Structure 1
Amino acid sequence: MEFETSEITVYEYRWGRRLCGFALTRDSAVEGVQNHYLYGERENTEADSFLGTKWAESNDGDGWWIEPKTVFAVKLPGNLKGNFAEGETAHLIWQCPHCGEYYSDDTAEDTASPQLVCCSCSRVKKYYLVEF
């Protein structure tokens, strides 16, 4: 099956070289950092899980940073399952055309189509736009 592709900008957010997430807009990437489970001050907790709240001056600095990347994303069909009105967690169900695996990603109530997802089934991260 052949799928349509679209050239998009993906905003990957990282701590140092560690990829922590991605988004379709810079504002969404900043929000992703601030809502990330590793975002927080270490001295505010006994747990060592927080990396910090500092923003890096450059991509080789210590801290959070956002890197825009232009990529070709494959458009895929998907299904949104679940009912927020009944208190269910909704899931976006989609299949990676490269490896054939099905994925179920938790979604927020305000999730809009298309949704940016990725599969790491090879050394090169592949981005997909799942339409539902």
Structure 2
Amino acid sequence: MCSDAADATANDTMQNVLKIIVSTSQNESHMYAAQWPATTFACSFWPGRAVERCTGPFNKTLANSILVIGNTYDPAIPFHGAKTVADGVGDQAALFRLDFIGHTSQTAPGGSSCLNDDILAYSTSSTVSITLELP
């Protein structure tokens, strides 16, 4: 987890990182962020970085479009996070909005055969059988 984190800067003091954690827990993922401050803080100062870590730019034309899946009621990664990713990729992304409670899309309570069918269709032919929320 930490090997993909951004490198620490001169501004990454304990006080500044704590402010970021508090802000995230209040504004982004208020249901889960408050539970993760220890790991979030540790990552700011983690010395190693993954060799395959990519920090951008993310402005290239992709060989295949990306299916971004967001779960409306995901307490860890709110839907607006998926929308931000899809918006960042632009017209090379399709945004699938799943309305389930819980973290992750394929293991959401009640499941979604529609989602699973669309993941398979998108993986094999870049098509989906339902109307997506386009970024």
TM-score, structure 2 length as denominator? 0.24
> Larger C-alpha radius of gyration, 1 or 2?
2
- When you count helix as a share of all residues, which structure comes out higher? 2
- When you count strand as a share of all residues, which structure comes out higher? 1
TM-score, structure 1 length as denominator? 0.24
